[in-house]
Amino acid sequence: MAKKGNGYTQVELMASIASKILEDGKSVFVGTGLPVIATVLAQRTHAPNVLIMYEAGGIGPQCPVIPVSVGDSRTFYRGIAASSMHDVMSALQSGFVDYGFLGAAQIDMFGNINTTVIGDYQYPKIRLPGSGGANDVGSLCHKNIILMKQDEQRFVNKLDFMTTPGYLTGPGGREKAGLPENTGPYRVITQLGVYGFDHETKRMRLISIHPGVDLKEVKRNCGFELIIPEVVKTSETPTEKELRILREIDPSGIVLGK
């Protein structure tokens, strides 16, 4: 992916923003790709005591470089436990995981996610990978961070299929469905901006737009009405230190690209 004028790419920007959300001493359920880069960046900067948990059972590792899957041996490197998927999912169900990372093919205004199918379920245009552990993460983590590309086909008014619950139909939706209180989508990070969710209505709201992006572009690439504050902040860009660490984490450019 091409670098911006001051030497960082969209992927590096998104990783930097995601890393800053994570707090020291908190636990985070991590998938491979951009989430692991963001989490390891946080671990090597402001959150040295973040507890990283991989789906295959690696708990508390200090990955030297990016693993290629959640079962890669590097997900256990210097960890506190080489456990199992059962134990990690049990920790989710017990309410012990603070943050979860998710991707999405589609998302709606309440943070509900589709990773199953585009088009009619029986006669799809595109069959997607499905849930994996995404439904567990979206249902049970205290706060979920969604990393995805933004356009009108992805930020949609109505999902083609709901794989993972956000705030469902709005206020009280998760609680009515029997999901734990004080859980749900927290941040959405795209190539255009950063989004959160309104406390009262549970609708997606704009928090910041990235350098070089204007509000018209954000609106044009959204299929529903966003809540937009009177003053829109500009996203914080990666520091030189962060860029150096990111490239150390992914020396082959598996996620960051060449």
**Residues 80-90: pLDDT tens digits?**
999 999 999 99
pLDDT in tens, 195-216: 999 999 999 999 999 999 999 9
**Are the CB atoms for 21 and 40 separated by under 8 Å?**
no
- Cβ contacts of 81 within 8 Å, gap of 6 or more: 57, 58, 59, 60, 87
**Are the CB atoms for 140 and 97 separated by under 8 Å?**
yes
* Nearest C-alpha neighbor of 40 from the set 249, 255, 247, 238: 249
Please indicate, yes or no, whether the overall pTM of this predicted structure exceeds 0.85.
yes
Structure tokens at 165: 């619950």
For the question of residue 152 being annotated catalytic, the response is: no
CATH of domain 10-249: 3.40.1080.10
pLDDT at residue number 3: 53
- pLDDT, average across residues 40-48: 97
Would you give the DSSP letter of residue 239? P
User: How large is the greatest C-alpha to C-alpha distance in the chain, in angstroms?
Assistant: 49
Which candidate in 12, 55, 236, 242 is catalytic? 55
Instruction: Grade residue 2 by pLDDT with cuts at 50, 70 and 90.
Output: very low
CA angle 157, 31, 42 (to 5 degrees): 100
**Alpha-carbon span 8 to 155, nearest angstrom:** 25
3-class DSSP assignment, residue 106: strand
Residue given tokens 């290629």 in the structure block: 68
- Cβ contacts of 241 within 8 Å, gap of 6 or more: 45
